Amino acid sequence: MDTPVFRPAGLGDVDALVAIEDAAFSTDRISRRSFRSLVAAPTAACIVAEIDGKVAGYAMLLFRAGTALARLYSIAVAPDRAGRGLGGLLLAEAERAAFDRDRILLRLEVREDNLPAIALYERAGYRRFGRYLDYYEDHADALRFEKLLRLGAAPKVTTRYYEQTTEFTCGPACLMMACAHFDPGFELDERTEVRLWREATTIFMTTGLGGCEPFGLAVTLAEHGLRPHVYINADGPLFLETVRNAENRRVMRIAQECFRARAAAMDIPVTYEALGTERTAEALRGGAVAIVLISGYRMFGKKVPHWVIAHGDDGRHIFIHDPWVEKKRGEVLADAANLPIPYGEFDRMARWGRDGLKATIVVTRG
């Protein structure tokens, strides 16, 4: 095989990319419009292999903002170049591109019946860690693989993942994952999600239904037999500054006062200071999980308070489950589960609003 030249794709490569896509795949093809968008997107990288001035293959990577995770969205080789090792070279280039962006994990999905591709990934050191049923347009299943790109080992994942089913139930989804961490038989389903939302909710949203604040989450955790410890750098009612309606503010204040009184009656420890990244990591290493308030803007571009659950640490990264999957950007569950967040980025994202509200609930077994 002639030596390929690898370079970032440009808009001038779209015709060639579409031609390779149409020749390589019969279903689940990336459209011309999507190629044009992805080639220019800061959260994606398209690498092309050029041989004798002609595009012979490509690899498409997706990056979730604020994380150390990359996803191999697609990889394809022109039929006349297949079987000559170009796929392996493209995969290696994709790993280098992810590494250069400080990503430590590269994940991918592959059809369960695509044995040559599976063999390629296994030879390259990828490990299978899951399966999606009915994943492709023709209802074929997908296998999930990942590879650690840096030295060291990612912590073992012992916390089951749950994707929130509404825009306002990130808190209940984290409650469910915390309960399931300590009780493998805990049910992760929509009914439980809505029930816990009703138990823990105190907040009106600008429009629509409400979310959760830390004391409601802590009381609900304690009622389910766990031991929460609230760390918060502010006293008094929370999230009122974005609520214009005076009646909504009044109800929010009363509801939060009730949860604080219940937390005191239940002897739930409260420390009025930020826990910080290093102490969060220490708690995780000690067997706890932590429900953490973050700004959704750093993760998926929305200026909303958002709850995630931290469950692991490797000395440089906090590993979280984010219950929100940004499907509008083509994300799947693998883009939101077990995300490695560099310490510095975790410290920047774990705050909300102009005043820098920080809230963490450290959860241990009851």
| 44-51 vs 5-8, strand pairing mode | antiparallel
Query: What pLDDT, on a 0 to 100 scale, did the predictor assign at position 118?
Result: 96
Look at domain 170-364 and name its CATH class.
Answer: alpha beta
In the chain, helix, strand, coil percent, each to 5?
35, 25, 40
Q: Would you tell me which CATH number, out of the four given (3.30.70.20, 3.40.50.1000, 3.40.630.30, 3.90.1750.10), belongs to the domain 5-148?
A: 3.40.630.30
Q: What is the DSSP letter of 6?
A: E
Q: Which residues, at least 6 apart from 149, have a Cβ–Cβ distance to it below 8 Å? A: 95, 98, 99, 103, 104, 105, 106
59 conformational bin, left if phi > 0, alpha if psi -120 to 50, beta if neither: beta
Give the pLDDT confidence of 90-99 residue by residue, as tens digits: 999 999 999 9
Give pTM, 2 decimals.
0.81
Q: Which amino acid is at 102?
A: D
pLDDT category of residue 350 using cuts at 50, 70 and 90: very high
Query: What pLDDT, on a 0 to 100 scale, did the predictor assign at position 204?
Result: 58
State the span(s) of the chain assigned CATH 3.40.630.30: 5-148
- β-sheet bridge partners, residue 349: none
Give the pLDDT confidence of 262-297 residue by residue, as tens digits: 999 999 999 999 999 999 999 999 999 999 999 987
Cβ atoms within 10 A of the Cβ of 151, count? Answer: 6
**At residue 318, does pLDDT exceed 90?**
yes
**At residue 208, does pLDDT exceed 60?**
no
Lowest mean pLDDT among 172-186, 208-222, 349-363: 208-222
**Structure tokens belonging to residue 215:** 């004391």
Measuring CA to CA, how many Å separate 349 from each of 213, 294, 340?
A: 17, 5, 13
Query: What pLDDT, on a 0 to 100 scale, did the predictor assign at position 235?
Result: 87
Query: What pLDDT, on a 0 to 100 scale, did the predictor assign at position 2?
Result: 77
Give the pLDDT confidence of 140-180 residue by residue, as tens digits: 999 999 998 976 667 788 899 999 999 899 999 999 999 99
Query: What pLDDT, on a 0 to 100 scale, did the predictor assign at position 156?
Result: 81
- Tell me what the pLDDT averaged over the chain comes to: 91
* 3-state DSSP assignment of residue 275: coil
State the span(s) of the chain assigned CATH 3.90.70.10: 170-364
**At residue 24, does pLDDT exceed 90?**
yes
pLDDT category of residue 205 using cuts at 50, 70 and 90: low
**At residue 195, does pLDDT exceed 70?**
yes
